[in-house]
């Protein structure tokens, strides 16, 4: 059950990262509660310990509801941005299994699939832009089992780029911008423009939250970020024929706290760089906030 462009009433946003569990609850009149806790070793492979950790985090918010939306991420979750001839979304969905076989490197028999038309208007090459998402069925079921163990009803699974786009919608507006999400296990380069998600790319190395890069892997990842952003923008432009010109970079995730990172990226990219604080929350809560905002944003 995905959440790509369909409105569903959601209250709690659940972001289970490599190192930490982040939860945001958006209640009436814009009241926002949030909580964070350590993720157990083994992550989602250790469902009992993960359920206990999640229950503690949810209890900390004081929330008594049940409905939740979770972000699914990882190397086995595949997101592809494809170009198709203009057609109604129902026709795109009817051809989803065929398109998935064409664009995904694995068979789709044991995968959960969904898609969304990002822009129904044809681009410079006469094609419309469509997002295709796929995750292993067992991974999706594990999120449902986890939520049931703590008394939550998982009403949808979302992808990280969509949640980030939603969380920063007010800050970005109609401008074109890059969201750089810096997690402990991976990073995401997300291009947003005209009020919608345009493109994203997952980087398989992460940055631990903290004030300085404490390991060689962190340091190398940080140094590579400007080039990763450039490659992502160049790839999107070459695939769509569109001109790409982001006006700003927003940093999210725990790695956004890395000392000197904002100045380094500003110098390398010649763009303003801002640590995102949507709804006054820290950058590490951007994904969970975007999940919680699905009720109002779609």
Q: Supply φ then ψ for residue 15, to 5 degrees.
A: -120, 105
Walk across the sheet containing 32-38 and list its strands.
Answer: 32-38, 20-26, 12-16, 67-72, 153-159
Model confidence at 103, pLDDT cuts 50, 70, 90, reads confident
Average pLDDT estimate for 67-85:
93
Which pLDDT score, from 0 to 100, does residue 6 have? 46
Domains of the chain: 78-134 (3.30.1490.300), 172-276 (3.30.420.40)
Rounded CA separation 221/236 (Å): 22
Q: 244-285: per-residue pLDDT in tens?
A: 999 999 999 999 999 899 999 999 999 999 999 999 999 999
Sign of CA dihedral 259, 261, 266, 272: negative
**How far, CA to CA in Å, does 13 sit from each of 20, 68, 69?**
14, 6, 5
State both tokens at 237. 């432009």
Residue 28, pLDDT > 80, answer: no
Cα(32)–Cα(156) distance, integer angstroms:
20
Write the pLDDT tens digit of every residue in 235-248. 999 988 989 999 99
């Amino acid at each position: 059950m995905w959440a790509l462009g369909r409105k569903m009433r959601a209250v709690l946003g659940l972001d289970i990262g490599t190192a930490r569990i982040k939860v945001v609850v958006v209640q009436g009149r814009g009241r926002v509660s949030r909580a964070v806790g350590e993720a157990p070793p083994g992550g989602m492979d250790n469902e009992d310990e993960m359920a206990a950790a999640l229950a503690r985090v949810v209890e900390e918010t004081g929330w008594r509801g049940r409905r939740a939306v979770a972000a699914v991420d990882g190397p086995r979750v595949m997101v592809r941005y494809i170009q198709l001839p203009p057609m109604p979304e129902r026709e795109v969905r009817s051809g989803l299994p065929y398109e998935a076989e064409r664009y995904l490197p694995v068979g789709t028999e044991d995968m959960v699939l969904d898609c969304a038309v990002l822009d129904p208007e044809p681009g410079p090459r006469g094609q419309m832009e469509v997002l295709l998402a796929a995750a292993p069925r067992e991974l999706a079921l594990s999120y449902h089992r986890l939520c049931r163990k703590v008394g939550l009803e998982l009403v949808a699974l979302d992808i990280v780029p969509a949640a980030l786009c939603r969380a920063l919608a007010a800050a970005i507006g109609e401008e074109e911008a890059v969201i750089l999400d810096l997690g402990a296990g991976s990073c995401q380069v997300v291009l947003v423009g005209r009020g919608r998600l345009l493109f994203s790319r997952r980087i398989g190395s992460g940055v631990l939250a903290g004030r300085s890069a404490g390991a060689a892997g962190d340091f190398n990842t940080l140094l590579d970020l400007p080039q990763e952003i450039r490659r992502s923008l160049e790839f999107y432009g070459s695939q769509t024929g569109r001109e790409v010109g982001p006006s700003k970079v927003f940093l999210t995730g725990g790695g956004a706290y890395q000392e000197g990172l904002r100045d380094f990226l500003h110098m390398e990219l010649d763009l303003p760089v801002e640590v995102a604080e949507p709804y006054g929350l820290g950058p590490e809560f951007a994904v969970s906030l975007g999940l919680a905002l699905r009720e109002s944003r779609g």
